Structure 1
Amino acid sequence: MKKIIAFSFLLVAGITANAQLKHVVADKIIATVADKIILKSDIDNKIYDIKRSSTEQLPDNVDCLLLEQAIALKALVAQAEKDSIPVSDDAVESDLDKRIQYFISIYGSKEMMERIIGKTVFQIKEEFRPMIRENRLAEGEREKIWGNIRITPEEVTDYYNKIPKDSLHFYESEVEVGQVVIFPKPNREVETYVIDQLKDYKEQVESGAKTFDALARLYSDDPGTKQDGGLIEINRNEKSIDPTFLAKAFGLKDGQISGVFKSRFGYHIIQMVSKRGDDATVRHILKIPQVSSIEINQTMQFLDSIRTLLVDGKMKFGEAVDKYSEDENNKFTGGLIANNNFSTNLTYDELDKDLLFLMDTLKVGHYSKPVEFTDYRGKKGVRIVYLISKTEPHRENLRDDYDKIAAKALEEKKNEALDKWFHERVTDFYISIDPEYQKCAEMDKWVKSSSTAGK
């Protein structure tokens, strides 16, 4: 069961990037844990999503493995509720926001994500909110079970020595990279020109000379909605949408076009297509004022002065990030760039091409000179890059990878404690399993518990 528990929270507790509408029509309850049910569609949909997101061959008993993981999760949730483990709404919302941002990074834009999944951000969150809350409860109960489990250096060495030499992991070169980012501000004349353009687009639509759809396809700077004529589905409660955009949109009547306004992305006009309570369909045209070489050079000079302070030791990197960096994605990691798994240890294929070029010349502990780059939105910026650490490709060993090996040894120790908890407490729960799944070897322990629970 140890392998199952170790694997369970990677699949059962996650929301896959391919999560869409339910794929399975026929459904039934295949297991009950206390007052919690597990549906056949829960398992089938997870298998469907795993197959879509991975090219690896799944084991023949994947449905049995996933069901055991689901039962284990429900047991932890049931115990967490008995123990009154606290889970705040803010914590759940934060987890949902992180997952949404992860999906957006995969699909390229919020609009593309919504188009592929077939739901708005608000609808996605509402669908997965109960699952996220259960995950939080299960995590809280696990932390209680683990208590103050620690790992000693002797245990780390013993764990490492048990690994067959030909099974030691081979690590690619990894880097930790930080950056201070500033986006040059366009001059007022360029902004005025963009505002006048949008005013003209509005007049053309209102006069009947052009349709909003056609103008958005021709002139919008939003690549995520341009091909659809600027069409976007929004919800009044979505926190991922610029609040100014939401306020302007929901202040419109059907068919009405807003005045020109500014968001954190640029300047917009919006046309309300239809509104249904807190949901609305709108079209918008985004124009991003372009910066000239003058603004870019001014920003590079300013960042060069910041670099001098960093190199001379008169300012710490974290201080520079807090005071000056405009990269919202890296603010919460102290300026360090993170991958989709929120790790700041990056392989070379996880770096953008501009960063990859810098890695050839930048030494550990050094700061690059200010360099121009273009972000995922097509916005021009200037940044200082800080190479914090770098590892060479190597076979796993205690000298170079002690922390990673210690983490795996601690994980094994925690899984053993969790396995012991299930073994001792499994009969505390009423568990019912559909006869079709009782044939699974993984169900033996749970089936036996169902016959003794409550005695």
Structure 2
Amino acid sequence: MFYMNKGLKSFLTALSLLFTFIATAQGQAHKAVADRIIGVVGDRIILQSDIQSAVADAARNGEKLPENAPCIIMEHALLQKILALQAERDSLPLTDEDVEAQMDMRVRGWISQFGSQSALEEVAGKTVYQLKDDQRPFIKEQMLSDKMRSKVVNDVHITPTEVKAYFDKIPKDSLPFLESELEVGQIVLLPSASKDVEDYIYNEMLGYKKQIESGAVTFDALAKRVSEDRVTAERGGAIEVNRSDKSTWDPVFLSTAFRLKTGEISVPVKSNRFGYFLIQQVSRRGDIAKLKMILRIPPVTDNELAVARKKLDSVRAEVDEKKISFKDAAYKYSDDENVKNYGPFILNKDGSTYVTIDALDKDMVTTIKDMKVGDISKPVTFTNDQGKKGVRLVYLKSKTAPHRLNLVDDYSKISDLALEQKKGEVLDKWLTKKIPTFYILVDKQATQECPNLSKYETSDKGF
């Protein structure tokens, strides 16, 4: 049924983000609980505590859990290990740098989720660096699993006839009611501060460097007081970066950080994306560096914002006069770095351009409140995620009314679901051939409670 498929997909997506953290960060609360192995795939094991903790954490994160959630999680764990082991057999490429970059991204997500590094470390019962060392094999397994799955289903496609057949099989009383969705694009200008302001910030940061080097103040204390990156400021500017993590840090920051010697403090360096950084290298191991940083964002004045608004007025006129499309104008004029890779439209978590209103920032919600489909706003001032002030044009491309799922309004959604089902069928056939080539053992109690797990067993030995 469609509703269950959608809910299950959402649940498993959330699970894939949680499972690695759970497996490595169960902390003090689980130490007194007797644990046991409930699954084996090759030389890899699945613990009962992994499954129990995954269910508990998914519930705490507000996921809507199916009644058979433990069975789904156990099957997901078995499948992930089978796919990862096959990826190793097939020598699918995965570099250490890829794994490190993924770990950095996950850790930043967890820090954001828990509010601070110290809160994350309290929950995990270990430092971030210990957590990363512990989770490295789990992240690698997950990435190998994803690569193998992609290889298996990469050539699977869906036809319009198959999409309609999929939809026609959904009982009419099971078709979900969908909330309103929008397609919203933006063209962003992020004006630079005046030279006088930038010079002032630069000289002020030179002063910070002298104060730290003279011993008048510590880097940690100064970062907590003046840094405008509040996540790192809370922990005295401490951050760990990977040289290959270019999606998060711009080249100027990375090249400066990795040129420094241990203990050395840089001169202020300018990042067009963020602002001015003062960087100290704490330690380095290959492409991984532990740093401390202070960020200052030179403020723009109303004068700079007025110039940006005037430019966007001209861009808006070009689009209105059909001299250029909104999309092409975004590629030509926008300062938003995401435009180059993802286009000018706000994306959903699944990569779709259709979003609900809660995916938009509060300033954008205010902007589109009285707009009609096809409207382009006048230039409006906003503050981005990095704390920089800018001006943007907002384009409301489409807006659906709340409605029952149907082929006319929701063809792309139904097509995606039909394709996922077809990929699942292809993967099942692949598993039927591959499972006998692995040593797989599942706990007898688990197979009794979850009969679907019995298809994975290739050994009848007990635990």
- Using structure 2 for the length normalisation, give the TM-score: 0.80
Cα separation, partners in 2 of 1:101 and 1:401, compared to 1, 3 Å: farther
Q: Distance in 1 between matches of 2:104 and 2:263?
A: 34
Match of 1:216 in 2: 223
Aligned to 1:258: 266
Native 8 Å contact 1:18 1:49 kept in 2? no
2:193 aligned residue: 186
Contact 2:103–2:132 (CA under 8 A) maintained in structure 1:
no
Contact 1:186 1:290 in 2 (8 A): yes
Which residue of structure 1 lines up, in the alignment, with residue 237 of structure 2? 230
2:12 corresponding residue in structure 1: 10
State the identity as a percent.
39
* Alpha-carbon distance between aligned partners in 2 of 1:101 and 1:389, rounded to the nearest angstrom: 35
Contact 2:84–2:142 (CA<8 Å) still a contact in 1?
A: no
Change (3 A) 1:271 1:445: closer
Match of 2:354 in 1: 345
Gaps of 5+ in 2: none
Name which of structure 1's ranges 398-407 and 366-375 shifts more when overlaid on structure 2: 398-407
Tell me the CA shift for residue 262 of structure 1: 1.6
Residue 382 to residue 199, structure 1, CA distance change in 2 (3 Å)? same
The CA deviation at 1:318 is: 3.0
Q: Does 1:103 align with 2:109?
A: yes
Q: Return closer, same or farther for 1:113/1:128 CA change in 2, 3 Å cut-off.
A: farther
Q: Distance in 2 between matches of 1:110 and 1:179?
A: 31
Q: Secondary structure at the match of 1:367?
A: coil
Tell me by how many angstroms 1:14 deviates. 1.9
Question: Could you tell me which residue of structure 2 aligns to residue 377 of structure 1?
Answer: 386
Q: More deviation in 72-81 or 62-71?
A: 72-81
Any gaps of 5 or more consecutive residues in structure 1? none
Secondary structure of the corresponding residue to residue 408 of structure 2:
helix
The answer as to whether partners of 2:36 and 2:48 remain within 8 angstroms in 1 is yes
Between 330-339 and 213-222, the greater mean CA deviation after superposition: 213-222
- Deviation, structure 1 residue 270: 3.1
Answer yes or no: is the 8 Å Cα contact 1:122–1:235 preserved in 2: no
Distance 1:390 1:104, change over 3 A: farther
Shift in alpha-carbon separation, 1:210–1:294, aligned structure 2, 3 A: same
In the alignment, is residue 299 of structure 1 matched against residue 308 of structure 2? yes
CA contact (8 A) 1:186 1:292 kept: yes
SS at match of 1:186: coil
The structural deviation recorded for 1:358 is 2.3
Alignment of 1:5-404 (within 5 A): 7=8, 10=12, 14-16=16-18, 19=21, 21-23=24-26, 29-34=37-42, 36-40=44-48, 42-57=50-65, 59=67, 61-79=68-86, 84=90, 86-87=92-93, 89=95, 96=102, 100=106, 103=109, 107=113, 118-119=127-128, 126-143=136-153, 147-148=155-156, 150-153=158-161, 155-234=162-241, 238-239=245-246, 240-252=248-260, 255-263=263-271, 264-272=273-281, 274-275=282-283, 277-278=285-286, 281-404=290-413
Hey, what's the Cα distance between the residues in 1 that align with 2:17 and 2:223? 33
CA distance change for structure 1 residues 54 and 108 in 2, over 3 Å: closer, same or farther?
Answer: closer
Deviations 1:116-152 (A, max 9, x none): 77426976984554123322333234316xx545344
CA gap of 1:209–1:70, structure 2 versus 1, over 3 A, is closer
> Residue 51 of structure 1: CA displacement?
3.0
- SS class of match (1:315): coil
Q: CA deviation at 1:340?
A: 3.6
CA offset at residue 97 of structure 1? 8.1
**Cα deviation digits, residues 360-402 of structure 1 (max 9, x gap):** 3323233222111101121101111122221111112232223
User: How many aligned residue pairs are there?
Assistant: 444
TM-score normalized with structure 1 length: 0.81
Distance 1:80 1:276 in 2: 31
Q: Secondary structure in 1 aligned to 2:409?
A: helix
Supply the distance in 2 between the matched residues of 1:237 and 1:403 (Cα, whole angstroms): 35
CA gap of 1:428–1:206, structure 2 versus 1, over 3 A, is closer
**Structure 1 residues 4, 135: closer, same or farther in 2, change over 3 A?**
farther
